[in-house]
């Protein structure tokens, strides 16, 4: 509940900060931090669980590591790092914490056997979406130590457009299939949605390094295609009785 409360508070603070100061830097970082903590917490539970279920059934072999103290430590370090970045975004201590958090999250992801799920886009997208978390943390850290080379926007968009955007669609798609009584299988429509949101995240990060209105437009178009594609593919399922 705490991350949700922080996210709600950040939403209110956004308007207050913008009204009083004309900017919303702190509240935007706070909201992003809360969202990433939620992904780390919930994603850290469902990704290895769904991966394990699929591997046991379809591809026996190495399974995701069970949730343990390393996961708890990774989440704690990430939460502390994100908090430091929220209120001290250019401090070297924040940069070091974000670097450590990025390493922990990357190692955590590697323990979930994502490379063994290539045959199932519905499971693979969870791993690819989560990969934007350590990538974003690493970019934020690098932007603090090498601001002339790595723009701060790269990390912000990796976390936002990448991690939040892709994970949202990944979970929405899986939940829609499951709760409407349909087979947990990604068809061509789902594969298109996943490809579009991953492209949007990648292009938006690239646009931070190579400022280009056209590239931002392409990222936006891919983003719109992903979410409008979800409506087109799954809208009917969400508005009709559950399949039996």
What is the per-residue pLDDT across 227-236, written as a single tens digit (0 to 9) for each?
999 999 999 9
Q: Tell me the torsion sign for CA atoms 82, 85, 91, 95.
A: positive
pLDDT band at 19 (very low <50, low <70, confident <90, very high): confident
Could you tell me the residue ranges of all domains in the chain?
2-239
First to last CA, the chain: 34
What is the per-residue pLDDT across 56-105, written as a single tens digit (0 to 9) for each?
998 888 999 999 999 999 999 999 999 999 999 999 999 999 999 999 99
Q: With pLDDT > 70 as the criterion, what percentage of the chain qualifies?
A: 100
Mean pLDDT, the chain, rounded, equals 94
Query: Distance (Å, rounded) from C-alpha 186 to C-alpha 238?
Result: 16
22: which DSSP letter? S
Burial group, residue 40, by CB count within 10 angstroms (0-12, 13-18, 19+): buried
The pLDDT of residue 60 is: 86
Structure tokens that stand for 61 in this block: 């072999």
Q: Does 203 have pLDDT greater than 80?
A: yes
Give residue for tokens 């046991």: 56
Confidence (pTM): 0.93
Residue 154's alpha-carbon distances to 61, 183, 214, in angstroms, are: 37, 37, 17
Q: What average pLDDT does range 143-169 have in this prediction? A: 96
**CA nearest 190: which of 172, 202, 206, 214?**
172
What is the per-residue pLDDT across 27-47, written as a single tens digit (0 to 9) for each?
999 999 999 999 999 999 999
Query: Distance (Å, rounded) from C-alpha 64 to C-alpha 111?
Result: 6
The pLDDT of residue 214 is: 93
């Amino acid at each position: 509940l705490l991350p949700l409360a922080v996210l709600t508070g950040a939403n209110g603070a956004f308007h207050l900060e913008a009204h009083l100061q004309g900017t919303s830097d702190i509240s935007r970082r706070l909201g992003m931090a809360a969202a990433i903590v939620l992904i780390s917490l919930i994603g850290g539970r469902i990704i290895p669980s769904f991966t394990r279920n699929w591997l046991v059934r379809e591809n026996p072999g190495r399974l995701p590591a069970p949730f343990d103290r390393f996961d708890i430590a990774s989440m704690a370090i990430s939460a502390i790092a994100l908090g430091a970045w929220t209120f001290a975004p250019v401090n070297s201590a924040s940069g070091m914490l974000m670097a450590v958090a990025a390493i922990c999250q990357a190692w955590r992801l590697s323990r979930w056997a994502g490379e063994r799920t290539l045959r199932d886009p519905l499971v693979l997208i969870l791993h690819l979406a989560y990969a934007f978390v350590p990538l974003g943390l690493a970019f934020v850290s690098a932007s603090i130590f090498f601001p002339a080379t790595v723009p701060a926007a790269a990390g912000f968009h990796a976390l936002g457009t990448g991690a939040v955007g892709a994970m949202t669609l990944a979970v929405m798609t899986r939940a829609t299939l499951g709760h409407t009584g349909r087979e947990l299988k990604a068809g061509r429509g789902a594969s298109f949605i996943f490809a579009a949101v991953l492209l949007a995240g990648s292009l938006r990060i690239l646009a931070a390094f190579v400022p280009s209105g056209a590239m931002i437009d392409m990222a936006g178009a891919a983003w719109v295609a992903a979410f409008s594609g979800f409506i087109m593919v799954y809208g009917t399922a969400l508005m009709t009785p559950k399949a039996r």
